[in-house]
């Protein structure tokens, strides 16, 4: 097991440690960009659904108001 843990620890330390080639914030920025690329289409779709919901509720409110005006 030690034969696997030591090289893995050294590799991770070289990637994100204090002596790494790429700084920690660059790794975080890359991960955030990837997550936003995955989440952005879903967030846009949620916005469209919210707009549709508001339009439907506005139409229903108009119908209810017209119904009460007739009374």
Render pLDDT for 10-68 as a digit per residue (tens, 0 to 9). 888 888 777 888 888 888 999 999 998 888 888 888 888 888 889 999 998 888 888 88
pLDDT at 15: 81
Residue 10 covered by a domain? no
Q: What CA–CA distance (Å, rounded) separates 55 from 64?
A: 14
In a domain, 8, yes or no: no
The C-alpha atoms of residue 49 and residue 56 are separated, in whole angstroms, by: 11
What pLDDT shows up at residue 5?
A: 92
pLDDT at 41: 84
Range of the domain at 31: 23-71
How confident is the model at residue 30, as a pLDDT? 92
Can you say how many angstroms the Cα of residue 19 is from the centroid of all Cα atoms in its chain?
31
Is 45 part of a structural domain of the chain?
A: yes
Residue 68 structure tokens: 């009460």
Whether residue 54 lies inside any domain: the answer is yes
Q: List, in sequence order, every beta strand (DSSP E) within 1-71.
A: none
Residue 57 lies inside a defined structural domain of this protein? yes
């Amino acid at each position: 097991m030690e034969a696997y843990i030591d090289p893995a620890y050294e590799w991770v330390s070289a990637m994100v440690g204090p002596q790494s080639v790429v700084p920690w914030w660059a790794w975080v920025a890359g991960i955030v960009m990837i997550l936003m690329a995955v989440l952005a289409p879903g967030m846009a779709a949620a916005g469209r659904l919210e707009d549709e919901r508001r339009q439907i509720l506005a139409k229903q409110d108009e119908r209810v108001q017209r119904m009460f005006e007739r009374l």
